[in-house]
Structure 1
Amino acid sequence: MRRARAVFDEYVGKTLQIDLTDLSSDRWWITPQPGDMIAEIRTKDLGSLTYTRSGGDLEDISLFERRRRRNIAVYASAEKLARRGRFYSEDDLVDYDVLAYDIDATVSPDRAFIEGNARIKIRIRSTAVATVNLRLAESLVVRGVFSPNAGRLLHLRVVGQNSLIVSLPRRADSDTELWLNVLYAGRVQPQELEREAIAVSQDAQEPVVIPLEPRFLYSHRAYWYPQATVSDYATVRLSITAPAAYDIVATGAPIGTPVPPPGVAAPGQGPRRMFVFESDRPVRYLAFVATRLRPVETRQIDGVSVIVQANARQTSRARTMAGRAEDIFRFYRSVVGAAPYPAFSLVVTEREVPGGHSPAYFAVVDQVQLTSGIPWRNDPVNFDSYPEFILAHEVAHQWWGQAVGWKNYHEQWLSEGFAQYFAALYAEKKLNPNVIGNVMRQMRQTAISASPQGPVYLGYRLGHIKGDNRIFRSIIYNKAAMVLHMLRRLIGDDAFFKGVSDFYGSWQFRKAGTGDFIAAMEKASGTSLARFFDTWIFGESVPRVKFSYSTEGSDAIVRFEQQSPPTDFPVTVTLTYASGATADVMIAVTNKVVEKRLPLNGRLRTITANADHGSLAVIVR
């Protein structure tokens, strides 16, 4: 019994302990729900592992490594999968919707300190809801949670987690709307670019000769404000006060010019400015960046107010990017429709390696300082021939990832893959033809190389165990974009772009899933696409196909033979004539063996398959 008590005391604080500092200084715990279990497993190499079976989760089995704070495995049991099916929405995990945020925050970027007053309007979705679970960085101290009608509310913090549990004054029924007011303060580190951003990997760390301009990014993964446990579309008003030396760009359209905050400054406090942002259109999450900026220019682009700002050493680059951004905005509008938000700020900053992040209403685009000695050019999403790529990718996120979200982490390719492919479309339609060829070649090579690590549908878990984000970018960015390119060529431009436009229109300001996209594309094309998506999104193997050709009179006969179970993909065959002229013909390979007779327009020199790198299939002779 003593041994059991010792084990319990050792582990309970890591999993089940709650903070009741308002009521008691004793240790308190929560217990698993009936039918759930938590098992702590001691291992020699990995330390302590936590196995969890939680019936309330849509993926009810997990294995967590405490030492590195990462999931080793997360999946649905056979029973859970049978009940919910392949597709699900993370919204099914929560009892409420967030309708609006109204946040006043004071930030000290140099100290990583935030003091906030967050008012959150929610609508109850379930019956007899007694508590509301929110996410908030554990390092932030909650000074109180209040309701306009009930006064101060009991709140709990789960030790070791970014969670805040608020007890409602009485059980709330479905469709009940209420406001919560959360006061909090503390230190929270800014967010580095990661899984919802482009941040190319560096190969080695070398000193930067000239210090970089400080840049502090706070997005939803920093949990700097109380938010739903899953992403949730809501309107927003943000008021952020910062030292006068810093500029703030945030989610929402800027309202007026920055002004000193009301009230009397605290003793020793330097001058400060208050920035206000609002959006009456729903946004997925809230973010802001604090840095020193210079105004570059403001443009009106098809009803969108575009403001370009930059760190001092980046103003020349930013001025060039402004014109390119206008061209990109107009191109995307022509493909899928008007930009979803009426304002957009382009913030050009400097870092050791290139990268970008694009919340609703703004994008941060990191430019490499010329004196940086860090090599990064072998990253899957670094395209030397396409310097505008990161800008084109981040602008596309205003449509894909922001206006259209994703239902769960498996569906993140609907954000990153679409943004990646729209950036490729821009290169195809607007830039030198050699650019798109180089982009497709690199995307194909990295996608095929990384495919054995898992399918597109594995989401953030790709490369997670190995700690290699390049695997994630090779699959979720590049392979997903290649899948969209193959789908376009398989069903044709008219059906593809109609399906994409209809999909965007149907899911604007909502979270979509792969099943929803399949349905839109099948409706637009009149074709079943189940086998295509089973292979390229839900599967990880890359088909191999044997290619050969022969001539017969004035015709060429091309033959494809799939060496694995048949699937669907397009491939371009290029006829090269003795005169040097070439002709491309797209072949849809949808059976085990496909033969096509092609008329010749002269003396043939050779025929090649997939010279444009447009198919992920591996072609062998």
Structure 2
Amino acid sequence: METGSRLRRTLVTGGVGLALLVAPAAAAGSGGDFEPGASGAGDPYFPFSGNGGYDVLHYDLDLTYTPPEAAPAPLTGQLDGKARIKLRATQDLSRFNLDLRGLEVDSVRIDGMKAHEVTAPPAGTSVKGRVFWHVQDDAEREWELTVQPRAGIRAGRTVTVVVRYGGATTVPTDIEGVPYGWVTTRDGAMVVNEPDGAMTWYPVSDHPTDKATYDFKVTVPKGKVAVANGLPAREPRTRRGWTTWWWDAPDQMASYLSTASVGDYDLRESETASGLPIIDAVDDALTPADLAETEASLALEPEMIGFLEQFGPYPFNSAGSIVDDDSVGYALECQTRPVYSEVADESTVMHELAHQWFGNAVSPYRWADIWLNEGWATYAQWIWSEDQGGDTAQQAFDQVMGIPATSSFWDVVVADPGPFGLFSGAIYSRGAATLFALRQKIGDDAFLEGAREWVARYDDGTASTADFEALMEEVSGQDLGAFFDVWVRTPEKPTSW
């Protein structure tokens, strides 16, 4: 994610619980060994995001979306979906959760067996048979669907959960009122989820530690274009005034990086010198100035990818972008298809491309580790600028270090900023300065070896600040505890390291 004068982003939810609760009963004769899956992934910032007791393997999302009517009609769309979720139990499960916010559930099936809706029972009440109940508590910002099959699910067993759902879409926001998730726009929807907005448009285990592969089928009114992650799975088809778009994302992906944006896009296809497909979706309503800057920046994508491959091969099956004319103020690193609001400028394109390695291939183990996303992406901007004859990385570092010690900038604990500090300036700039200082301390060879090993070792997974520190100690042969204490664990301006 990029921040700046044109790109504002201060999105957090501060531990709000939003859950779609799916609860099979324990099997008869199980001896009580079936237990509920945890109600969250264990992230202290967002304790109800993600879930325990299972691993999602694949999401197959079938969406039909009607955008709002022209102004002055309300900015309200209609989304109807069928989510086919393949998951594997990692414990003997008596129940498990999926996260879903603001949409109504019509039906649920587990391995083809239909559950029937009942009135929500009192807490702790056992209801036998295949039933579900749906509760949405707006005051607590918690939404739960409870489903109870006849038998528990043994560890290692794979099941398919099919949820039909839908409802009106507007502009969901976090607790600070910043739009995220399925952001309804006049011409479609701009879909940007960080950190836990995926639950606003499909049932999901909404935490980076539960990555999965994806398929998308998105049906929209004729003339609209639906763009998701990965590559087109087949040619779009138009029937009776509706066009269906298919996208396949076969690489492991954290839910916050998924997208299925809808708009008046011009699809542009190109490739790198090595043949990597690039698909750019550019809104046809950009101003001439924004369009010219966007086109110039996107033309650099192949060169930027080659530059970033100093950190390892590009990690996914495609690259590209979605450039929307909406003025929400986003740039978000959606996997293979970063989203830019209004314009894609050169520095921001480099930032979001760098995230494909740092944040997407290797995602944060906990949201407290987000500096490893944003610090690396900002550092990539610094070294790209230097490579292109602009300001040097040293100049960028000196600018950060020129911030007075009395500034609140230095009050942020970079490795634990709190849920309201995830997108503070220090996460980006002090994070990048940490990497610059680390490179000086351990030398170019060890630093680049460590960066490449970081991506190779933790690709398709998550990693923490502790993992990063240990790896850099491994490749450098140095004890870096004091260094990381100064740079990412102490809320003061570094003076020596």
Specify the TM-score bucket, using the shorter chain as the normaliser: 0.7 to 0.9
Alignment partner, residue 322 of structure 1 = 298
The equivalences for 1:442-453 within 5 A come to: 442-445=399-402, 449-453=407-411
The equivalences for 1:116-127 within 5 A come to: 116-127=81-92
Pick aligned residue for 1:177 from 134, 158, 180: 158
Q: Is the 8 A contact 2:216 2:247 kept in 1?
A: yes
What secondary structure, in the 3-state scheme, does the structure 1 residue paired with 2:340 have? strand
Q: Is the 8 A contact 1:193 1:356 kept in 2?
A: no
Alignment partner, residue 77 of structure 1 = none
Q: Is the 8 A contact 1:108 1:243 kept in 2?
A: yes
The one-character-per-residue Cα deviations of 1:459-482 (angstroms, maximum 9, x if unpaired) are 45244xxxxx8xx33121111111
Alignment partner, residue 518 of structure 1 = 469
Q: Is the 8 A contact 1:253 1:344 kept in 2?
A: no
Aligned length: 425
Pick aligned residue for 1:407 from 356, 359, 365: 365
State the 1:327 CA deviation: 1.2
Q: Is the 8 A contact 1:453 1:462 kept in 2?
A: no
Do structure 1's residue 431 and structure 2's residue 388 form an aligned pair? Answer: yes
* Structure 1 residues 325 and 55, CA gap change in structure 2 (3 angstroms): closer
What secondary structure, in the 3-state scheme, does the structure 2 residue paired with 1:342 have? coil
Pick aligned residue for 1:114 from 79, 95, 99: 79
Do structure 1's residue 186 and structure 2's residue 167 form an aligned pair? Answer: yes
In structure 1, runs of 5+ residues without a counterpart are: 1-13, 21-32, 34-53, 63-70, 75-89, 200-211, 266-270, 370-386, 464-468, 545-566, 569-621
- Residues in 2 aligned to 1:346 and 1:477: alpha-carbon distance in whole angstroms: 22
Alignment partner, residue 237 of structure 1 = 215
- Residues in 1 aligned to 2:134 and 2:485: alpha-carbon distance in whole angstroms: 42
Pick aligned residue for 2:189 from 216, 225, 248: 216
* Structure 1 residues 146 and 413, CA gap change in structure 2 (3 angstroms): same
The one-character-per-residue Cα deviations of 1:22-42 (angstroms, maximum 9, x if unpaired) are xxxxxxxxxxx9xxxxxxxxx
Do structure 1's residue 130 and structure 2's residue 115 form an aligned pair? Answer: no
State the 1:17 CA deviation: 13
Q: Is the 8 A contact 1:353 1:368 kept in 2?
A: no
- Residues in 2 aligned to 1:186 and 1:237: alpha-carbon distance in whole angstroms: 21
Do structure 1's residue 247 and structure 2's residue 225 form an aligned pair? Answer: yes
State the 1:501 CA deviation: 0.5
Pick aligned residue for 2:109 from 146, 162, 179: 146
* Structure 1 residues 447 and 298, CA gap change in structure 2 (3 angstroms): farther
- Residues in 2 aligned to 1:213 and 1:99: alpha-carbon distance in whole angstroms: 34
Q: Is the 8 A contact 1:144 1:184 kept in 2?
A: yes
What secondary structure, in the 3-state scheme, does the structure 2 residue paired with 1:159 have? strand
Do structure 1's residue 277 and structure 2's residue 251 form an aligned pair? Answer: no
Q: Is the 8 A contact 2:20 2:100 kept in 1?
A: no
* Structure 1 residues 126 and 190, CA gap change in structure 2 (3 angstroms): same
Alignment partner, residue 489 of structure 1 = 440
Which protein is bigger by CA-based radius of gyration? Answer: 1
Q: Is the 8 A contact 2:21 2:147 kept in 1?
A: no
- Residues in 2 aligned to 1:390 and 1:16: alpha-carbon distance in whole angstroms: 31
- Residues in 1 aligned to 2:416 and 2:331: alpha-carbon distance in whole angstroms: 23
What secondary structure, in the 3-state scheme, does the structure 2 residue paired with 1:185 have? strand
The equivalences for 1:76-91 within 5 A come to: none
The answer to which structure, 1 or 2, has the higher relative contact order (CA under 8 A, 6+ apart) is 2
- Residues in 1 aligned to 2:364 and 2:56: alpha-carbon distance in whole angstroms: 16
- Residues in 1 aligned to 2:455 and 2:18: alpha-carbon distance in whole angstroms: 42
In structure 2, runs of 5+ residues without a counterpart are: 1-15, 23-34, 69-75, 116-129
Q: Is the 8 A contact 1:113 1:188 kept in 2?
A: yes
Equivalent residue letter for 2:491:
E
Alignment partner, residue 36 of structure 1 = none
Do structure 1's residue 293 and structure 2's residue 269 form an aligned pair? Answer: no
Equivalent residue letter for 1:133:
N
RMSD across aligned C-alpha pairs, in angstroms? Answer: 3.5
What secondary structure, in the 3-state scheme, does the structure 2 residue paired with 1:94 have? coil
What secondary structure, in the 3-state scheme, does the structure 1 residue paired with 2:381 have? helix
The one-character-per-residue Cα deviations of 1:432-462 (angstroms, maximum 9, x if unpaired) are 2436465434444569634443201224524
- Residues in 1 aligned to 2:299 and 2:389: alpha-carbon distance in whole angstroms: 17
State the 1:164 CA deviation: 3.1
Equivalent residue letter for 2:163:
V
Q: Is the 8 A contact 1:409 1:459 kept in 2?
A: no
- Residues in 2 aligned to 1:17 and 1:307: alpha-carbon distance in whole angstroms: 34
Identity among equivalent pairs (%): 24
State the 1:301 CA deviation: 4.3
* Structure 1 residues 59 and 399, CA gap change in structure 2 (3 angstroms): closer
State the 1:59 CA deviation: 6.9
Q: Is the 8 A contact 2:385 2:391 kept in 1?
A: no
Pick aligned residue for 2:311 from 328, 336, 342: 336
Equivalent residue letter for 1:477:
Y
Pick aligned residue for 2:133 from 153, 156, 166: 156
Q: Is the 8 A contact 1:100 1:122 kept in 2?
A: yes
Q: Is the 8 A contact 1:136 1:227 kept in 2?
A: yes
